[in-house]
Amino acid sequence: MDSFKDRAIDALDVGLKTLTDSFGEAKRDNPGAGLADQLDEHERAHLNGLMRVNHTGEVCAQGLYAGQALFARSPTTRAQMQHSADEEVDHLIWCQSALARHRGRPSRLNPLFYGASFAIGAGAAMVNDQTSLAFVHATEENVEAHLADHLTQLPPGAAASRAVLTQMQQDEFEHGQAALEQGGKPLPALVRRAMKQVARVMTATAYRI
């Protein structure tokens, strides 16, 4: 069984890799492989804004899961957090690849977003595993909804990016369902509304900065 010290070292390693985009290669094939994004300059700029938001969302996911895994009480809960975090790494790499392909850049605010997400995840986990899992479910619901919105905003020629976001949306749904199956309960409506407002702030700032 891992000690808290071991988990803390792992959390530090995740943070450094997340903020330096140094996870290496994704474990799964890029869903957009073999496809292309045919875009004019205006469409390219908009796509980069959308993918910057999605990349930041994956940075936040790594922070959230790292904080939750560090303080999770149950090894089963910790293993579930790690499984979801591993799939989110693929998302992070796919979004970074899309930005690089279209001469985009990650948000300059990612260190701030990562730190805030880590603190939120750790705080939820310190309450209990059920609260932590409930927070995962609510977060994944929000992410799934904003991916659905981004899919409607993609330029018609963005075939590669559409394939990536579609796979990400499916994964986020599965992560949310897994959290419920592990014992998470839906959060109160007031808390979910507050989370949506915070997500809107992140989306608006990451798109531009």
Domains, in order of start, for the chain: 4-18+38-208 (1.20.1260.10)
Please give the Cα distance from 66 to 169 (Å, whole number). 21
The residues near 186 (Cβ < 8 Å, ≥ 6 apart) are: 134, 137, 138, 192
pTM for this predicted structure: 0.89
pLDDT band at 47 (very low <50, low <70, confident <90, very high): very high
Amino acid found at 72: A
Residue 92, Cβ density class (10 Å: 0-12 exposed, 13-18 middle, ≥19 buried): buried
Residue ranges of the binding site for Fe cation: 58, 88, 91, 140, 172, 175
Statement: residue 45 has pLDDT above 80: yes
Q: What is the dihedral of CA 114, 115, 121, 123, to 10 degrees?
A: -170
pLDDT of residue 190: 79
Residue ranges of the binding site: 58, 88, 91, 140, 172, 175
Residues of the chain above pLDDT 90, percent = 33
- Two structure tokens written together for 142: 């929000």
pLDDT of residue 1: 56
Give the residue, 11 or 149, on which the prediction is more confident. Answer: 149
Length of the chain: 209
pLDDT in tens, 130-158: 888 888 888 888 888 889 999 999 999 99
* Closest C-alpha among 178, 66, 180, 182 to residue 125: 66
Alpha helix ranges (H) inside the chain: 4-19, 41-71, 75-101, 110-127, 129-153, 159-181, 189-208
DSSP 148-205: HHHHHHS-TTBHHHHHHHHHHHHHHHHHHHHHHHTT--PPPHHHHHHHHHHHHHHHHH
- Two structure tokens written together for 189: 């409506």
Read off the DSSP letter of residue 73: S
Please give the Cα distance from 50 to 45 (Å, whole number). 9
119-123 long-range contacts (CB < 8 A, ≥24 apart) are 119/67, 120/64, 120/67, 121/63, 121/64, 121/65, 121/66, 121/67, 121/68, 122/67, 122/68, 122/70, 122/71, 123/67
pLDDT of residue 22: 81
Please give the Cα distance from 114 to 119 (Å, whole number). 9
pLDDT in tens, 95-113: 999 999 898 999 999 999 9
